[in-house]
Amino acid sequence: MSKIYNDSNIFCPTSTTANIHEASSIEFNQIYHLSILHYCPTCQAPKSSEQCSFNLESKFCSNCLADHTDSRSGYCTKNCFICPRCNVILTITISDHGSGKSFKFRCPYCPFQFQSGINEKPKSLHAIVKFERKENPDLHYQLFRTIQSSLSERKDYYHDKSDLSERMEKTLQLGSKHHHDIEKDPFTIDSNRDGISDIQSLTRNPLLDNNSIHPNQPYQEPKFPIVHPLTSKFSRKCLACNTQLLVPAVNKEAPTINKFIIKFNAIEYMPTLKFAPIEDLTLQFDNQRQLLLNFINPLSSKMAVTIAAPPILSSRFVKPSCRHIVNVTLPVSKFVLGALTSKNVMNGIPTSLLTSETAASRAELVRRVGEAQYAEQTEDLQKLVQKGSNWYTIPISVCVEKNTQEESLPLEDSSVTYDIQIPLYITVGSDLPDSLKSVSNRERLSFGYWNVVKLEGIKFHG
């Protein structure tokens, strides 16, 4: 089963003051997919990139492989240029004219080409392109300069505001200094600055009107090669405890090899959640709808799990907002996930996720159905619970109560579809995995977090 296409969306709070046990503390802009999160072995918590500090470990050109770690440049200063239309590396040919040399840049995939003039003195290709761009700027470059100079003119715009804070004034002074440096740049285009007193007037700028966004004007192709951007490798540390969460291996001879010295990925320590396929996305009013939610354990030791949800969803979890009330019930709130020990991949797939698409999957499904018939008959609820080697499937009931109280609100259109987010508070307890023993000062793995599962495109009916 794919580790990416699942319903594990984790709330990683950046605030340390909020009571994270309350669903009201959940901020929607701090919910991340499990696959992109780190796991801090010291805090025993998932960490988003917002909760990490970064350090640049290596910076290189992916084309010529030159190392640029100590340079301040964001692009390759060697002879690497890319096509402005399709981003591929341009081939460069030299012609000798006796009096000097000229250079032709050509894209191997599209008709883009750029021919430089004859250069009598040796110059870097960057200097040649910059010089020609200044002499004969295309619309894209003119527009860039216009935006750049109008942004640094913001100082005048704020000049008379008496409530300007000292800090803002300092920032503006710095900006102005920077602008001064730009003015000294020999490649600066002296754009028409009259009438650009604030950002708003940019929209009336004739340069913008001429741009490709204007449907009546012909689109002007970019004329100049683009510098090749550098690739960076960063290490990450937990902001709360300074533990290293990700450290890339740096090999100056082979910078493109992606290996890590330290790597704590959340997906290796936290259970993956996945809904069983939901065929009909309609919820009948006042009728309980049972959905099946699968939990999959990535650890090679057993995992004790508890799960809780707010019984009534606050209106902010339903989009677009509606007057009805969404209830969530969890008949099973405690279970143990088996360890990931089996080498047989098929054993690790929850029954509800087995499809009839492949012969192996069909055979496994038939085997499990057969086994279930010989199993002891249990009460209704237990029939919905399924379990296997390292997975467990629990029912989750969702019910929409029709709100007939608020007459003043207009009746909803029955074709409206809703997105419902259900916050589930999950706690996990397990033996400390071997990979954490050397870095963690705790004896067990024990943590709690919010996993927000999403039901999208739901219709209410009845």
Contact residues toward Zn ion (CB under 5 A) are 40, 42-43, 61, 63-64, 76, 78, 80, 83, 85-86, 107, 110, 112, 238, 240-241, 243
- Structure-token match 């650009």, residue found: 196
Q: Which is nearer to Zn ion, 339 or 432 (CB)?
A: 432
Nearer to Zn ion, 89 or 147 (CB): 89
Q: Considering the complex, state which of residue 79 and residue 306 has its C-beta at the smaller distance from Zn ion.
A: 79
Contact 262, 245 (CB under 8 A): yes
The dihedrals phi and psi of 364, each to the nearest 5 degrees, come to: -65, -40
C-beta separation of 116 from 81 below 8 A? no
Q: CA angle at residue 120 from 117 to 122, to 5 degrees?
A: 100
Q: What is the token pair recorded at 454?
A: 């999403």
Minimum distance, C-beta of residue 365 to Zn ion, in the bound complex (Å): 42
Structural contact between residues 400 and 283, judged by C-beta atoms closer than 8 angstroms: yes
Question: How far apart are alpha carbons 356 and 168 in whole angstroms?
Answer: 63
Nearer to Zn ion, 40 or 328 (CB): 40
Q: What is the largest CA-CA distance in the chain?
A: 95
Q: Which is nearer to Zn ion, 161 or 442 (CB)?
A: 442
> CB of residue 382 vs Zn ion: minimum separation in angstroms?
39
DSSP-derived pairing of the beta strands 303-308 and 113-115? unpaired
Nearer to Zn ion, 2 or 441 (CB): 441
* Least spacing, CB of residue 40 vs Zn ion, in Å: 3
The CB-of-124 to Zn ion minimum distance in angstroms stands at: 13
Supply the minimum distance, in Å, between the C-beta of residue 85 and Zn ion. Answer: 4
Q: What angle do CA 194, 220, 210 make, to 5 degrees?
A: 35
Smallest gap from Cβ 236 to Zn ion, in A, equals: 11
Shortest CB 21 distance to Zn ion, Å = 19
- Nearest residue (CB) to Zn ion, 40 versus 330: 40
Q: Centre a 10 Å sphere on the Cβ of residue 120 and count the other Cβ atoms it contains.
A: 10
Say how many C-beta atoms besides its own lie within 10 A of residue 399's C-beta. 16
Please state, in angstroms and rounded to a whole number, the distance separating the CA atoms of residues 40 and 269: 10
